[in-house]
């Protein structure tokens, strides 16, 4: 060891005056177990008045007498003139060398490649300083290595912030993580019993670490190696996933390893023989360590080292789980299958043959596919679930604990899970580990939140409190978060998100936050507004999730947490003004499509406030706005207005930020979109049949239109004229029909005059685009009535209305099927295309659209699509009948038409109902709010639906026959549509009811179907 290195160590030793403490540090120094040693050090500080913090000094090494000391409040400060630190590009100078010099430091440990310290700046910023052992490397090569390491920006890799070098000295400064190393988490500190580490945490550690290593392996043209993967170098990031530290150290040191070094691959003899494959081997050792909770290295005072590869290889068959896997995990048999899969991965990673080891990208995929866990491994039992206000309990805490759950994500305040029950209910559960509120106060807080009933705020349904843990149960939204919508998921390219959708997200989120701010006497705060907490509600507007979590937690925020206002230092300093700031960040994110947070596998995080502040004048749109939006110059003015709103929300001064109610008003004033931005002008509007023209195409193009929604076949608008006339306009893209054929088709549809079919009034065609003008209905769609808006006094759609909807739609479809010589097909029957006419009977809109445009795959058609229909060109009258059967199921059950099993398999409501015995329909299928008054009629309608949804098209009834059966059930006067064909033969009725009772043939296993969870009614 060099004299310079000895001088430094003697300096540390001089400060640690007690021989006992000196032994403590060196007995427990393990390579480089940063946070575990920090905990030991901190506990020693409080018990030893003689121990003082050390300030870090970087300069040319000198003797201890050469250092000038200044003692302030018992802390030694080393005031040493020195050169500048080298900042890694892209990082703001949050501190300089003077801050580091004057900081107090804690010794963390000595390892294979050097010593580590935790430095605390006067501004509260904490960093890890790695002082490398002497190495034979030139300054140029050291700088080159630092540039490579500094370019690695990933949430699962500890970030190199800056570095320092001089003759004989090398320092690397990393981000500091305060949650401790995985080694300390699994094996505890000296003389301490380790805490319980649940399977969910271990799996997140494995997934995060794998992602980090996989990212490292892509750097430097795919040549970068970590070289020192072990549990003492793995930490928990703020999202509670594994994060890899010490990158870049092994690549510069010339170290020869003993053959017994258990964390390294067998082929590794020195740092020059390290490779991607040896990193995979070391990761395999980590997986075995997570499974067994046995340490591959010996720590003084800790457990003996175990050769994990030999341990696992020596155990075969049934003894495997009992003798290998941590006994603490074996208490949860529901996760046994997952543990065995991880064990198999670990064994493949530690294969002797390098060629047989998987790539880290492959390991990531395998682990991510296993992110379904048992909630029972993650929460404490023994408490009671408390349901809020008018919630009807359909499950209890034991149901949640025993149900399999899919991890939706981890955030600042805990983990979120999707839980699906056998009865079809699906909920979202948030588990908050750090609760800093007394029980009575928390209960009052939950009651306040539980009373909020607003379509733009996710409803809290129940909660449970136990010690420092809270379980919050919310309604579940099956659509992606705004963050995923904008930036995609790991490895996936995000889709196009149009301006109308972004504006609806902004308006909905603003409405939700404004509603929150009116609660509890106008004092309630959300505290965690960000795009990953904003979802699309059934009306496709933004909906705010996670209300109530931030108020309970004792969380301190890093200055780099860009979603939060600069004045927010912890959860207690949050305010309605800081909510406005966070909403402003959301607006900037919607405009720029740049993420303020690091997205796994996605783009780097961007300081959006700084980005917008730097760009001025004409460059604003080109350098700030999402290039995908700049293709549409007609919306530029709106985007600029939203940008102005966003900038006002992120004002530094709290007084200058607007109230959320003011933001709502500004955004709602912009929700009127000029329909001229969406169509080609220069064509003529053609009115059909006996229509009396009261407007022309130019009137429509000048008018402002409110977007009603986007569907499979285009966007729908509501257009209101000054003369009071209101119309609905559907704009179709990708029209693939010759003009003459399209004109003939429009004339056929235009001649339909029936009280249960929406009337086509006019149309316009230009190139591959068509405008269809319909009469407008000011009542909600059946989809919205069944699944949509939930106000303060939520009402149930009564059975009389539902059966009238069914009868009306059946009559309308039957009438459509009589047109064009009995050949016309609707092609897109679903609840969002069904409205109520003036007699409150169902009315079907959007007739005949599939025949007009390029084929659309059945994958995007949803649960209404008949099994024989592979694309929209294959629709038929029989497939219309099938779709109508699905609508009947929807009316009776009030469930969505598709969902996902716990295995990730998409299952339709048809398959689910057909898998059940008719004896179970009342309990499991029928809407529980109606079952006791109309059970017989609802079961009869289900039987008709079963026949309509028959797998074989030839076995489905004709629509006039369906009309007759529904009219008989409802008791209404028979219509012309039911008299169109001969009356039903008794043998036919018997056969279809018999078919309904036959077990269905399906591609889905019974196990899948029973585990399938639909959205809760």
pLDDT at 551: 64
User: For 696-713, what is the mean pLDDT?
Assistant: 73
Q: What is the rounded CA–CA span in Å between residue 23 and residue 25?
A: 5
Which residues contact residue 713 at a Cβ distance below 8 angstroms, ignoring those fewer than 6 apart? 730, 732, 828, 846, 849, 850, 852, 853
Could you tell me if residue 424 is left (phi over 0), alpha (psi between -120 and 50 degrees) or otherwise beta?
left
Q: Which two tokens stand for residue 666?
A: 């500004």
Burial class of residue 792 (count of CB atoms within 10 Å of its CB; 0-12, 13-18, 19+): exposed
CATH of domain 479-670: 1.10.510.10
pLDDT at 45: 29
CB 679, CB 702: distance < 8 Å: no
pLDDT tens, position by position, 783-823: 888 887 544 344 678 999 999 999 999 999 999 999 999 99
User: Would you tell me which CATH number, out of the four given (3.30.450.40, 1.10.510.10, 1.10.15.40, 1.10.3720.10), belongs to the domain 3-370?
Assistant: 1.10.510.10
pLDDT at 821: 92
Q: Where are the alpha helices (DSSP H) in 234-372?
A: 276-292, 308-314, 319-324, 336-349, 360-368
pLDDT over threshold 50, residue 425: yes
Q: What DSSP character marks residue 292?
A: H
Where is average pLDDT lowest: 72-81, 140-149, 543-552, 950-959? 72-81
Which of 548, 555, 346 lies closest to 448 in space, CA to CA?
548
Q: Which of 248-252, 550-554, 743-747, 951-955 has the highest mean pLDDT?
A: 951-955
Q: What sign does the CA torsion over 882, 887, 890, 891 have?
A: negative
pLDDT at 255: 60
pLDDT over threshold 80, residue 415: no
Q: What is the rounded CA–CA span in Å between residue 110 and residue 703?
A: 73
pLDDT at 613: 84
pLDDT tens, position by position, 530-541: 998 899 887 778
pLDDT at 98: 56
pLDDT over threshold 80, residue 972: yes
Query: With bands split at pLDDT 50, 70 and 90, how would you rate the model's confidence at 881?
Result: very high
Q: What is the rounded CA–CA span in Å between residue 712 and residue 727?
A: 20
Query: In a 3-state reduction of DSSP, which class is residue 719?
Result: strand
pLDDT at 1008: 45
Which of 569, 576, 527 lies closest to 413 in space, CA to CA?
527
pLDDT at 19: 31
**Percent of the chain at pLDDT above 70?**
71
Which residues contact residue 220 at a Cβ distance below 8 angstroms, ignoring those fewer than 6 apart? 148
Give pairs for 147-154: CB < 8 Å, separation 24+: 148/219, 148/220, 148/224, 148/248, 149/247, 149/248, 150/88, 150/89, 151/219, 152/215, 152/216, 152/219, 152/224, 152/247, 153/90, 153/598, 153/604, 154/211, 154/212, 154/215, 154/598
pLDDT at 336: 80
Q: What DSSP character marks residue 129?
A: E
pLDDT over threshold 60, residue 994: no
| Greater pLDDT, 884 or 484 | 884
Tell me the domain boundaries of the chain: 3-370, 371-476, 479-670
pLDDT over threshold 50, residue 524: yes
Query: In a 3-state reduction of DSSP, which class is residue 446?
Result: helix
pLDDT tens, position by position, 120-172: 777 777 788 888 877 777 888 888 888 888 888 888 998 888 887 777 778 88
pLDDT at 961: 95
pLDDT at 599: 57
Q: What sign does the CA torsion over 575, 576, 577, 578 have?
A: positive
Element spanning 769, H or E? strand 769-775
Q: Give residue for tokens 């003899």.
A: 269
What phi and psi values does residue 722 have, to the nearest 5 degrees?
-65, -25
Concatenated DSSP letters for 608-650? HHHHHHH--TTHHHHHHS-TTTTT-GGGHHHHHHHHHHHHHHT
Q: Give residue for tokens 């079907």.
A: 844
Mutual orientation of helices 799-822 and 877-893 as an angle, nearest 10°?
180
Strands, E, within 350-504: which ranges?
A: 372-374, 386-387, 404-411, 414-420, 426-432, 460-466, 469-475
Query: With bands split at pLDDT 50, 70 and 90, how would you rate the model's confidence at 5?
Result: very low
Q: What is the mean pLDDT of the chain?
A: 76
Which of 303, 304, 309 lies closest to 286 in space, CA to CA?
309
Please measure the distance between the N-terminal and C-terminal CA atoms of the chain and give it in whole angstroms.
71
Q: What is the rounded CA–CA span in Å between residue 546 and residue 710?
A: 27
| Greater pLDDT, 266 or 205 | 205
User: For 563-575, what is the mean pLDDT?
Assistant: 84
Query: Does this model's pTM top 0.85?
Result: no
pLDDT over threshold 50, residue 738: yes
pLDDT at 635: 77
pLDDT at 571: 73
What phi and psi values does residue 270 have, to the nearest 5 degrees?
-155, 175
Q: Which two tokens stand for residue 461?
A: 């349904």
Q: Give residue for tokens 């010996």.
A: 298
Q: How remote is the C-alpha of 219 from its chain's centroid?
A: 27
pLDDT over threshold 50, residue 263: yes
pLDDT at 99: 59
Q: What is the rounded CA–CA span in Å between residue 699 and residue 704?
A: 10
Query: With bands split at pLDDT 50, 70 and 90, how would you rate the model's confidence at 554?
Result: low
Q: Which of 183-197, 309-323, 714-728, 871-885 has the highest mean pLDDT?
A: 871-885
pLDDT at 787: 83
Which of 142, 202, 198 lies closest to 166 in space, CA to CA?
142
pLDDT at 603: 66
DSSP-assigned beta bridge partners for residue 763: 686, 772
| Homologous superfamily of domain range 371-476 | Phosphorylase Kinase; domain 1 (3.30.200.20)
Query: With bands split at pLDDT 50, 70 and 90, how would you rate the model's confidence at 843?
Result: very high
Which of 655, 662, 468 lies closest to 575 in space, CA to CA?
655
Which of 923, 903, 902, 928 lies closest to 913 in space, CA to CA?
923
Where is average pLDDT lowest: 97-106, 403-412, 419-428, 866-875? 97-106
| Greater pLDDT, 81 or 594 | 594
One fold for both 3-370 and 479-670? yes
Element spanning 248, H or E? none
| Greater pLDDT, 900 or 536 | 536
pLDDT over threshold 60, residue 952: yes
Where is average pLDDT lowest: 317-331, 422-436, 634-648, 713-727? 422-436
| Greater pLDDT, 872 or 378 | 872
Q: What is the rounded CA–CA span in Å between residue 355 and residue 42?
A: 45
């Amino acid at each position: 060891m060099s004299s310079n290195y000895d001088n430094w160590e003697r300096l540390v030793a001089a400060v640690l005056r007690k021989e006992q403490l000196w032994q403590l540090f060196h007995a427990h120094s393990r390579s480089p177990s940063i946070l575990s040693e920090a905990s030991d050090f901190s506990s020693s500080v409080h018990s030893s008045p003689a121990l003082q913090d050390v300030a870090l000094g970087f300069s040319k090494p000198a003797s201890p007498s050469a250092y000038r000391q200044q003692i302030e409040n018992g802390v030694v400060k080393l005031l040493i003139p020195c050169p500048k630190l080298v900042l890694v590009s892209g990082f703001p100078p949050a501190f300089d060398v003077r801050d580091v010099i004057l900081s107090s430091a804690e010794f963390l440990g000595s390892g294979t490649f050097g010593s580590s310290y935790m430095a605390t700046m006067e501004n509260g910023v904490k960093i890890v300083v790695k002082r490398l052992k002497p190495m034979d490397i030139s300054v140029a090569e050291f700088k080159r290595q630092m540039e490579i390491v500094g370019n690695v920006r990933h949430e699962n890799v500890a970030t190199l912030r800056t570095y320092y070098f001089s003759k004989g000295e090398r320092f690397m400064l990393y981000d500091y993580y305060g949650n401790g190393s995985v080694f300390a988490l699994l094996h505890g500190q000296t003389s301490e019993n380790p805490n319980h580490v649940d399977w969910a945490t271990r799996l997140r550690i494995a997934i995060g670490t794998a992602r980090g290593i996989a990212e490292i392996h892509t750097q430097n043209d795919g040549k970068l190696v970590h070289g020192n993967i072990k549990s003492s170098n793995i930490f928990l990031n703020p999202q509670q996933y594994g994060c890899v530290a010490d990158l870049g150290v092994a690549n510069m040191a010339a170290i020869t390893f003993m053959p017994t070094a258990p964390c390294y691959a067998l082929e590794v003899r020195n740092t020059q023989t390290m490779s991607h494959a040896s990193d995979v081997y070391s990761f395999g050792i980590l997986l075995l360590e997570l499974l067994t909770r046995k340490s591959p290295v010996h720590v003084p005072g800790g457990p003996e080292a175990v050769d994990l590869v030999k341990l696992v290889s020596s155990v075969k068959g049934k003894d495997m789980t009992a003798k290998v896997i941590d006994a603490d995990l074996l208490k949860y048999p529901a996760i046994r299958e997952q543990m065995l899969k991880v064990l198999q991965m670990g064994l493949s990673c530690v294969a002797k043959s390098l060629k047989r080891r998987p790539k880290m990208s492959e390991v990531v995929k395998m682990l991510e596919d296993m992110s379904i866990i048992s909630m029972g491994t993650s929460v404490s039992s023994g408490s009671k679930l408390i349901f809020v206000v008018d919630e009807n309990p359909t499950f209890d805490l034991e149901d949640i604990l025993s149900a399999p759950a899919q991890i939706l994500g981890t955030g600042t305040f805990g983990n979120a899970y999707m839980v699906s029950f056998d009865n079809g209910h699906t909920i979202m559960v948030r588990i908050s580990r750090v609760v800093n509120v007394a029980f009575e106060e928390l209960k009052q807080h939950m009651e306040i939140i539980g009373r909020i009933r607003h379509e733009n705020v996710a409803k809290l349904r129940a909660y449970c409190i136990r010690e420092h843990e809270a379980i919050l149960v919310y309604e579940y939204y099956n659509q992606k978060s705004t963050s995923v919508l904008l930036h995609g998921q790991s490895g996936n390219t995000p889709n196009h998100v149009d301006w109308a959708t972004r504006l609806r997200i902004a308006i909905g989120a603003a409405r939700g936050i404004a509603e929150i701010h009116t609660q509890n006497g106008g004092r309630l705060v959300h505290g965690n507004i960000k795009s990953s907490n904003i979802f699309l509600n059934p009306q496709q507007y933004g909906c705010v999730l996670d209300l109530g979590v931030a108020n309970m937690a004792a969380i301190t925020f890093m200055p780099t947490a860009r979603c939060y206002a600069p004045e927010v230092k912890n959860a207690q300093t949050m305010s309605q003004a800081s909510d406005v700031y966070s909403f402003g960040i959301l607006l900037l994110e919607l405009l720029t499509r740049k993420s303020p947070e690091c997205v796994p596998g996605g783009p780097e995080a961007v300081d959006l406030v700084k980005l917008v502040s730097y760009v001025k004048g004409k460059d604003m749109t080109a350098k700030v706005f999402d290039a995908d939006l700049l293709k549409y110059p007609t919306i530029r003015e709106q985007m600029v207005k939203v940008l102005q709103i966003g900038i006002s929300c992120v004002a530094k001064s709290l007084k200058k930020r607007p109230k959320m109610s003011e933001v709502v008003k500004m955004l709602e004033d912009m929700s009127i979109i000029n329909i001229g931005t969406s169509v080609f002008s220069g064509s003529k509007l053609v009115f059909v049949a006996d229509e009396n023209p009261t407007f022309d195409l130019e009137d429509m193009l000048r008018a402002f239109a409110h977007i009603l929604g986007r569907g499979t076949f285009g966007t729908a608008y509501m257009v209101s004229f000054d003369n009071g006339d209101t119309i609905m306009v559907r704009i179709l893209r990708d029209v693939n029909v010759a003009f003459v054929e399209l004109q003939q088709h429009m004339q056929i549809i235009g001649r339909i005059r029936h009280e249960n079919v929406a009337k086509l009034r006019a149309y316009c065609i230009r190139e591959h685009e068509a405008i269809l003008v319909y009469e407008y209905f000011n009542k909600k769609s059946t989809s919205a009535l069944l699944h949509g808006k939930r106000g303060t006094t939520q009402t149930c759609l009564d059975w009389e209305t539902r059966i009238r909807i069914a009868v009306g739609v059946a009559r309308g479809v039957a009438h459509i099927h009589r047109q064009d010589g009995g050949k016309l097909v609707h092609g897109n029957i679903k609840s969002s295309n069904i409205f109520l006419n003036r007699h409150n009977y169902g009315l079907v809109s959007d007739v005949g659209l599939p025949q007009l445009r390029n084929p659309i795959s059945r994958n995007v058609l949803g649960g209404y699509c008949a099994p024989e229909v592979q694309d929209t060109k294959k629709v038929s009258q029989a497939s219309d009948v099938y779709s109508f059967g699905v609508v009947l199921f929807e009316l009776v059950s009030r469930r969505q038409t598709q969902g996902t099993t716990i295995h990730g398999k998409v299952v339709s409501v048809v398959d689910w109902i057909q898998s059940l015995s008719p004896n179970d329909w009342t309990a499991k299928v029928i809407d529980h709010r109606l079952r006791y008054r109309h059970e017989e009629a609802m079961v009869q309608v289900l039987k008709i639906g079963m026949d309509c949804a028959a797998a074989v098209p030839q076995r489905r009834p004709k629509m006039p026959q369906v009309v007759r059966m529904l009219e008989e059930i409802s008791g209404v006067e028979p219509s012309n549509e039911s008299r169109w064909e001969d009356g039903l033969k008794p043998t036919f009725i018997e056969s279809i009811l018999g078919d309904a009772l036959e077990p269905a043939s399906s591609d889905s296993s019974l196990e899948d179907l029973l585990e399938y969870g639909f959205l809760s009614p």
